[in-house]
A = this chain, B = another copy of it.
Amino acid sequence: MKRTSIGQVECPVARALDKIGDWWSLLIIRDAFDGMRRFGEFQRSLGISKGILTARLKHLVAIGVLEMTPISDEDGYQEYLLTDKGRDLFLVTVSLRQWGEDHCFGKSEHHSVLVEKANGQRVQRLALRGRDGKEISESATFVRKVADTPRRPHNPKRRRAARR
């Protein structure tokens, strides 16, 4: 009964979620950012079953977010490393972290924090900025669909009703 496909629409959010929007992928990626690279490390950290972990790692390798490299001169075993594409997901984890910190902890609960190596201080909160570099709010923006994007002079009959 295949899930409705969300991977072919024009919305980048949908395409991104289609690739890494499942329950485990981002947690694996988070752990990878945290320095984990071995199968067993992920498994213990996540409390995930081996079968699922195998499938998820394969998927992440397949879409180019992780890469497998043999461990130097040891036999057989592999390590899972983030690719550049995978590292580009960092801000996704940061934005989730920020929201989690703000809304998912009780007053008396403590959580891990993202800090700078250089000085041990917490990083700044993420902020949306306009072209001029000044911070702007969500309400000052909107999503312009492809169909509404200004085209070159000779405008063919405007495509309509494309799903975002």
Contacts and interface: CB of A to CB of B under 8 A. Distances in A.
Question: How many copies of the chain does the oligomer comprise?
Answer: 2
A20 B154 CA distance: 44
A145 B115 CA distance: 10
Interface stretch (A54-62, A68-76, A124-132): A124-132
Contact of A146 (B21, B90, B111): B111
Interface residues of A, number: 82
A96 B133 CA distance: 20
A157 interface: no
29 contacts: A4-B46, A4-B47, A11-B100, A12-B97, A12-B101, A13-B96, A14-B100, A15-B105, A16-B99, A16-B104, A17-B27, A17-B96, A19-B104, A33-B138, A45-B163, A85-B103, A88-B103, A90-B128, A91-B98, A91-B128, A113-B149, A114-B141, A115-B142, A116-B130, A117-B141, A118-B130, A118-B140, A122-B131, A124-B131
Interface of A: 3-4, 6-7, 10-19, 21-23, 26-27, 30, 33-34, 45-48, 64, 85, 87-105, 109-124, 126-131, 133, 136, 138, 140-146, 149, 163-164
